[in-house]
């Protein structure tokens, strides 16, 4: 366990890649394995010795305090700092730092509110302290690093460069979005300005000879910024692939929240969540999906790798694959939606109005 540690949690983004799910709810508050996404991060942070977290908010800022209050349910003290205008990652960290209480030489953990990670935060902080680093970055390996910040390191873990989203990455090791800063380094970021730690702060530190270290590991890691990744993250948590102390039930093929009604003839697998007071009809086949509160799924419906929003209704004969259905939408009988289709909240789709095959 670490000594009591302060953290900054970046939760200001609008989550545009997840629309329509984020039209009314910030991405970090989307229901994920039965609880708001951030509940998993907060529970893990608390388990690793974090005792105080400053939320760097912007989009729908008041909803975070409504969800988590003072943090006592997680053994945390939570402060909320709002950006009036977006300040970038560095600007957001600098803005939130005014609520920190630790001294200039103390480590400060910085977390991104859209990352699921199983890495050892204690080991990352230990590396930071023993290496007397300005910043220590969590690094993970991916198959294609072109869409991420590519971070080559030497044999001692020292970061050699920070190459943000380069088309020809020199390594498949990327920035995983969890940092340990020396508090004084955060204070050196210009206040009230748009600053990117990825494009400005980290390269500047490296060029000036400051010690920037990379904590590289190969544990579970997922950026949940797209609908497919969001569904995968929820399912992985339900199945226990990434253990979470916030999971409101035992790991398994499905998670049924209080008040859910599921026919014994329905088949629910793949880490699917069935929301509170949702209804699932006989013969429904639901695999690896998120079914929100008060949704109604008719008998015989097939749903795979999809999200069904709160209060949505899916009629008989419908097939949904890789689809997002917004809150209170109604999908009429015998529709077939697939390949990333998204239905906005409140939309009513008539019977058999969209098909991806001819076997209606």
In which band, very low, low, confident or very high, does the pLDDT at 3 lie, cut at 50, 70 and 90? low
Q: Is the pLDDT of residue 250 over 50?
A: yes
In which band, very low, low, confident or very high, does the pLDDT at 132 lie, cut at 50, 70 and 90? very high
DSSP state of 146: G
Tokens of 215: 């904590």
**Average pLDDT of the segment spanning 136-160:** 86
Q: How far apart are CA 350 and CA 123, in angstroms?
A: 55
Q: Is the dihedral of CA 102, 108, 112, 117 positive or negative?
A: negative
pLDDT digits (tens, 9 = 90+) for 349-359: 999 999 888 76
Give the pLDDT score at 359.
67
Answer yes or no: are the C-beta atoms of 25 and 60 closer than 8 Å: yes
pLDDT digits (tens, 9 = 90+) for 294-306: 999 999 999 999 9
Q: Which residues of 14-41 are buried (b: 16+ CB within 10 A; e: fewer)?
A: ebebbebbbeebbbbbbbbbbbbbbbbb
Tokens of 286: 């639901």
Place of tokens 């409101």: 248
Q: Name all contacts of 329-337 with Cβ < 8 Å and 24+ positions apart.
A: 333/298, 334/360, 336/360
Answer yes or no: are the C-beta atoms of 198 and 164 closer than 8 Å: yes
Give the pLDDT score at 229.
95
DSSP SS3 for 354: coil
Of the listed ranges 97-106, 286-295, 324-333, the least confidently predicted one is 97-106
Answer yes or no: are the C-beta atoms of 341 and 324 closer than 8 Å: yes
Element of type H or E holding 111:
strand 107-112
DSSP SS3 for 237: helix
Query: Percent of the chain scored above 70 by pLDDT?
Result: 98
Prediction pTM value:
0.91
Per 3-state DSSP, the chain is made up of helix, strand and coil in percentages (nearest 5) of 20, 30, 50
Q: Do domains 5-223 and 253-349 have the same CATH topology?
A: no
pLDDT digits (tens, 9 = 90+) for 265-300: 999 999 999 999 999 999 999 999 999 999 999 999
In which band, very low, low, confident or very high, does the pLDDT at 169 lie, cut at 50, 70 and 90? confident
Place of tokens 């044999």: 155
Tokens of 309: 């929003």
Strand 212-216 with 173-182, pairing: unpaired
Q: Is the pLDDT of residue 42 over 60?
A: yes
Of the candidate CATH numbers 3.40.50.920, 2.40.30.10, 3.40.640.10, 2.160.10.10, the domain formed by 253-349 belongs to 2.160.10.10
Give the pLDDT score at 1.
44
**Average pLDDT of the segment spanning 294-319:** 97
In which band, very low, low, confident or very high, does the pLDDT at 86 lie, cut at 50, 70 and 90? confident
**Average pLDDT of the segment spanning 103-130:** 94
Q: Is the pLDDT of residue 99 over 80?
A: yes
Give the pLDDT score at 347.
96
In which band, very low, low, confident or very high, does the pLDDT at 142 lie, cut at 50, 70 and 90? confident
Q: Is the pLDDT of residue 323 over 80?
A: yes
Q: How far apart are CA 345 and CA 241, in angstroms?
A: 31
Query: Percent of the chain scored above 90 by pLDDT?
Result: 74
Q: How far apart are CA 234 and CA 239, in angstroms?
A: 9
Q: Is the pLDDT of residue 212 over 60?
A: yes
Q: Is the pLDDT of residue 148 over 90?
A: no
CA atoms within 13 A on the CB side of 345: 11
Fold of 5-223: Spore Coat Polysaccharide Biosynthesis Protein SpsA; Chain A (3.90.550)
Averaged pLDDT score across all residues of the chain: 92
**Average pLDDT of the segment spanning 325-340:** 95
Q: How far apart are CA 83 and CA 72, in angstroms?
A: 24
DSSP SS3 for 271: coil
Answer yes or no: are the C-beta atoms of 49 and 122 closer than 8 Å: yes
- What does the domain layout of the chain look like in residue ranges? 5-223, 253-349
Q: How far apart are CA 125 and CA 178, in angstroms?
A: 11
Tokens of 285: 């086949």
């Amino acid at each position: 366990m670490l000594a009591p540690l302060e953290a900054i949690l970046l939760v200001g983004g609008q989550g545009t890649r997840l629309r329509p799910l984020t039209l009314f709810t910030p991405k970090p508050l989307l229901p994920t394995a039965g609880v708001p996404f951030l509940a998993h991060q907060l529970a893990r942070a608390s388990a690793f010795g974090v005792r105080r977290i400053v939320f760097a908010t912007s989009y729908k800022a008041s909803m975070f305090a409504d969800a988590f209050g003072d943090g006592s349910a997680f053994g945390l003290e939570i402060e909320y700092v709002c950006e009036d205008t977006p300040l970038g990652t560095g600007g957001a960290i600098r803005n939130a730092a005014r609520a920190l209480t630790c001294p200039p030489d103390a480590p400060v953990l910085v977390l991104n509110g859209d990352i699921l990670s199983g890495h050892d935060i204690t080991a990352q902080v230990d590396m930071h302290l023993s290496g007397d680093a300005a910043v220590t970055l969590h690094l993970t390996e991916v198959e294609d690093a072109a869409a991420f910040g590519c971070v080559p390191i030497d044999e001692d873990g020292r970061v050699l460069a920070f190459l943000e989203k380069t088309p020809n990455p020199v390594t498949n090791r990327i920035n995983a979005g969890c940092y340990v800063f020396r508090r004084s380094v955060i204070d050196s970021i210009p206040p009230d300005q748009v600053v990117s730690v990825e494009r400005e702060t980290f390269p500047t530190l490296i060029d000036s000879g400051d010690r920037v270290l990379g904590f590289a590991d190969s544990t579970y890691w997922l950026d949940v910024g797209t609908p497919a990744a969001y569904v995968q993250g929820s399912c992985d948590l339900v199945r226990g692939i990434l253990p979470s102390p916030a999971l409101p039930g035992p790991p398994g093929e499905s998670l049924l929240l209080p008040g859910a009604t599921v026919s014994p003839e329905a088949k629910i697998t793949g880490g699917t969540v069935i929301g509170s007071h949702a209804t699932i009809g006989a013969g429904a086949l639901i695999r690896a999906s998120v079914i929100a509160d008060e949704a109604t799924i008719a008998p015989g419906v097939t749903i795979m790798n999809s999200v069904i929003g709160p209060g949505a209704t899916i009629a008989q004969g419908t097939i949904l694959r890789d689809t997002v259905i917004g809150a209170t939408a109604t999908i009429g009988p015998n529709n077939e939606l697939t390949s990333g289709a998204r239905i906005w909240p409140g939309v009513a789709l008539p019977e058999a109005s969209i098909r991806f095959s001819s076997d209606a």
